[in-house]
């Protein structure tokens, strides 16, 4: 498990490893779906240095606008 | 002449000096996006780029900026690479009029070479990477997405081929942005009302005629494949999918078959968009991938999108302008000369027209607002005389400088529709629009002093043509 730099959940998992062994790994966060590569700059990989304007609060995710709108039968 | 497939087009670009291969090792981030953005800054005649030494990969190849310049756009139509922009516009309009060109069906395709149905992992199959720093992940943004009308599945023209941004959200999972104005949103709506998933095919790495047709605002029942044939001057080749009745571009490098999941919306984005702004995070539909095919050693074609101008603007410039031109000509066949709707996908459009009487140019401008594309774009329409080339911005600025009187010629219409991605719209999707009449007043509009326009020395046009040939 890895910490998501964007929403700071601790649930991110490895989704891919470099074909050349040991070069990098790709992680994905199941909470905010953020995806990153281990060798990206710290402004992407480090939760403390990730651009604050692009941080995601997991509590806000259920309120994101549906595009396109869902038909009424799917709205609980 | 048609290009057989994506590789055939790349070979032509190379032969014409319009492909730069980067053999030096690059990192997936930030190098590939940075190099592509930098290339866009070098002007309007830049080459495509092929990266073939990417850190961590053994034999991945990534093609960028493939149609990111006017020479490459000319070569897309098999024209000489130095064909002037306005000539490319009229040639595209001529071919647009050849629609529909019947398709050519094939039984097998090169992408059948490798097929994967078990343990699909898109992150392993494609050399994916981040484009812009605020992007929520790795995207696919230049692929053809194909779907059918579920209420009229036999109607070939209602099958849609469109280009939509897709976020890779899992090993076999994509998020997609079908905004309500897009044709695929109609198909998704049909599927969701039935409670069924919508079959889709995604084709990556195509020759450029279908990419161009897929990015052209055609009518709902017009086939992109039949338009691609018209653009390339030969029947377009397609092959059937295995899991559905969908038709696939024969020359694709990689094909993903799957289904749009009915009733599912999931957090997506942000993504740096063609408006030069990020889209923000929203909940959007999800595609589950069930089958992947690809050629041996596939080339991954990707598109950098960001602060204009980038490849997108070259790719959707002329094919946005021509439908607007044709639709305006339907209303005013003897007056409309040319349309340049190349700025931020036509949020700004420039129309060159003759005037029959005073006030006519304003009517032309307002007609543009009510075309299909105008409903979502054309926030500012500039109307110029027939002797002003709308593709020549210094000429357009001259017309605005000398012909437009702000008291008489600036018309603002409040609260019209616009695409929601327009960051200035408020609420999102609503904006005032403006027509600027920069044409010479004609009777009964007799204001100003326009009786002595400058002429040119004799034979300038002959010289222009001669010089162009000498410089070819």
Q: Which residues contact B121 (CB under 8 A, 6 or more apart)?
A: A15, A16, B171, B172
- Alpha carbon of A41: minimum distance to chain B alpha carbons (Å): 8
pLDDT value of residue A39: 98
- The pair of three-digit structure tokens given for residue B164, joined into one six-digit string: 């939509």
**Hey, how many other C-beta atoms are within 10 angstroms of the C-beta on B43?**
10
* A66 part of a folded domain: no
In A5-44, the residues whose Cβ lies within 8 Å of chain B are 6, 15-16, 18-20, 23-24, 26, 28, 32-37, 39-41, 43-44
Interface A-B: count of C-beta contacts within 8 A? 116
Closest alpha carbon to B248 in B221, B222, B218, B224: B224
Beta strand B61-64 pairing with B348-353: unpaired
Inform me whether the C-beta atom of residue A72 falls under 8 Å from chain B C-beta atoms.
Answer: no
Q: What is the DSSP string of B160-226?
A: EEEE--EEEEETTEEEE---TTSHHHHHHHHHHHHT-PEEEEEEES--HHHHHHHTS---TTS-HHH
pLDDT tens string B43-79 = 999 999 999 999 999 999 999 999 999 999 999 999 9
Contact (Cβ atoms closer than 8 angstroms) between residue B109 and residue B252: yes
- The pair of three-digit structure tokens given for residue B285, joined into one six-digit string: 């539909």
B164 is in an annotated binding site: yes
* A9 part of a folded domain: yes
Parts of chain B belonging to CATH 3.40.1670.10: 317-448
- The pair of three-digit structure tokens given for residue B64, joined into one six-digit string: 């960028």
Domain that holds residue A33: 1-58
* A20 part of a folded domain: yes
* A11 part of a folded domain: yes
Neighbour-count burial of B347, counting CB atoms closer than 10 A to its CB (0-12 exposed, 13-18 middle, 19+ buried): buried
* A76 part of a folded domain: no
Number of structural domains, chain A? 1
In A40-69, the residues whose Cβ lies within 8 Å of chain B are 40-41, 43-44, 51, 53-54, 56, 61, 64-69
> Which residues of B are tagged catalytic?
273
Q: Chain centroid to CA B134: how far?
A: 23
* A70 part of a folded domain: no
Contact (Cβ atoms closer than 8 angstroms) between residue B341 and residue B320: yes
* A12 part of a folded domain: yes
B299 is in an annotated binding site: no
Residuewise pLDDT in 10s, chain B (472 residues): 799 999 999 999 999 999 999 999 999 999 999 999 999 999 999 999 999 999 999 999 999 999 999 999 999 999 999 999 999 999 999 999 999 999 999 999 999 999 999 999 999 999 999 999 999 999 999 999 999 999 999 999 999 999 999 999 999 999 999 877 789 999 999 999 999 999 999 999 999 999 999 999 888 999 999 999 999 999 999 999 999 999 999 999 999 999 999 999 999 999 999 999 998 899 999 999 999 999 999 999 999 999 999 999 999 999 999 999 999 999 999 999 999 999 999 999 999 999 999 999 999 999 999 998 899 999 999 999 999 999 999 999 999 999 999 999 999 999 999 988 899 999 988 999 999 999 999 999 989 999 999 999 999 999 999 998 999 8
Backbone phi, then psi, for B422, in 5-degree steps? -65, 110
Contact (Cβ atoms closer than 8 angstroms) between residue B408 and residue B371: no
- Alpha carbon of B349: minimum distance to chain A alpha carbons (Å): 27
Cβ-defined contact of B188 to A56 (cutoff 8 Å): no
DSSP category for residue B113:
G
Q: How far is residue B268's CA from residue B106's CA, in Å, rounded to a whole number? A: 36
Beta strand B61-64 pairing with B299-301: parallel
Tokens 């992992």, residue located: B121
Contact (Cβ atoms closer than 8 angstroms) between residue B159 and residue B246: yes
B365 is in an annotated binding site: no
Return the CATH class of domain B6-313. mainly beta
Return the CATH class of domain B317-448. alpha beta
Q: What is the DSSP string of B336-375?
A: EEEEEEEEGGGTEEEEEE--SSTTHHHHHHHHHHTSTTTT
Parts of chain B belonging to CATH 2.30.110.10: 6-313
Which residues in chain A are closer than 8 Å to B25, comparing Cβ atoms? none
Q: How far is residue B435's CA from residue B443's CA, in Å, rounded to a whole number? A: 20
* A48 part of a folded domain: yes
């Amino acid at each position: 498990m890895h910490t998501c730099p964007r929403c700071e959940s601790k649930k991110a998992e490895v989704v891919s490893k470099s074909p050349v062994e040991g070069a990098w790994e790709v992680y994905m966060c199941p909470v905010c779906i953020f995806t990153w590569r281990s060798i990206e700059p710290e402004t992407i990989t480090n939760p403390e240095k990730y651009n604050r304007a692009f941080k995601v609060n997991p509590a806000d995710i259920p309120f994101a606008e549906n595009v396109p709108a869902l038909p009424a039968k799917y709205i609980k | 002449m048609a290009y057989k497939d994506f590789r055939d087009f790349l070979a032509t670009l190379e032969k014409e000096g319009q492909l730069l291969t980067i053999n030096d090792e690059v990192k997936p981030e930030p190098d590939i996006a940075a190099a592509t953005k930098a290339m866009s800054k070098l002007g309007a005649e830049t080459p495509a780029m092929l990266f073939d030494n990417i850190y961590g990969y053994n034999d991945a190849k990534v093609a960028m900026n493939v149609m990111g310049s006017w020479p490459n756009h000319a070569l897309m139509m098999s024209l000489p690479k130095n064909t002037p922009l306005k000539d490319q516009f009229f040639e595209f309009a001529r071919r647009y009029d050849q629609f529909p060109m019947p398709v050519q069906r094939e039984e097998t395709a090169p992408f059948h070479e490798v097929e994967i149905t078990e343990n699909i992992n898109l992150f392993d199959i494609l050399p994916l990477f981040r484009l812009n720093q605020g992007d929520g992940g790795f995207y696919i943004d230049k692929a053809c997405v194909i779907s059918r009308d579920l209420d009229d599945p036999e109607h070939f023209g209602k099958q849609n081929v469109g280009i939509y941004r897709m976020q890779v959200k899992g090993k076999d999972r994509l998020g997609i942005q079908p905004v309500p104005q897009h044709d695929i949103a109609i198909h998704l709506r049909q599927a969701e009302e039935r409670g069924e998933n919508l079959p889709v095919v995604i084709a990556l790495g195509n020759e450029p005629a279908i990419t161009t047709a897929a990015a052209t605002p055609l009518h709902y029942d017009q086939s992109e494949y039949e338009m691609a044939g018209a653009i390339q001057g030969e029947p377009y080749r397609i092959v059937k999918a295995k899991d559905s009745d969908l038709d696939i571009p024969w020359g694709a490098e990689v094909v993903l078959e799957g289904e749009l999941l009915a009733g599912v919306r999931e957090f997506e984005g942000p993504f740096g968009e063609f408006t030069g702004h990020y889209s923000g995070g929203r909940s959007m539909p999800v595609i589950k991938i069930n089958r992947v095919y690809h050629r041996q050693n596939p080339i991954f074609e990707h598109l950098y999108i960001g602060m204009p101008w980038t490849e997108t603007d070259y790719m959707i410039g002329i094919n946005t302008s021509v439908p607007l031109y044709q639709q305006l000509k339907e209303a005013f066949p003897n007056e409309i000369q040319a349309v340049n709707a190349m700025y931020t996908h036509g949020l700004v459009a420039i129309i060159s027209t003759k005037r029959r009487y005073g006030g006519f140019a304003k009517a032309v401008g307002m007609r543009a607002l009510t075309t299909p594309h105008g409903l979502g774009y054309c926030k500012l329409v500039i109307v110029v005389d027939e002797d002003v080339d709308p593709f020549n911005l210094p000429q357009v600025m001259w017309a605005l400088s000398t012909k437009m009187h702000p008291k008489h010629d600036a018309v603002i219409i409040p609260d019209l529709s616009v695409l929601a991605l327009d960051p200035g719209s408020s609420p999102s999707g609503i904006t005032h629009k403006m027509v600027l009449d920069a044409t010479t007043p004609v009777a009964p509009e007799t204001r100003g002093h326009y009786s002595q326009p400058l002429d040119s020395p004799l034979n300038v046009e002959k010289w222009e043509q001669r010089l162009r040939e000498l410089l070819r």
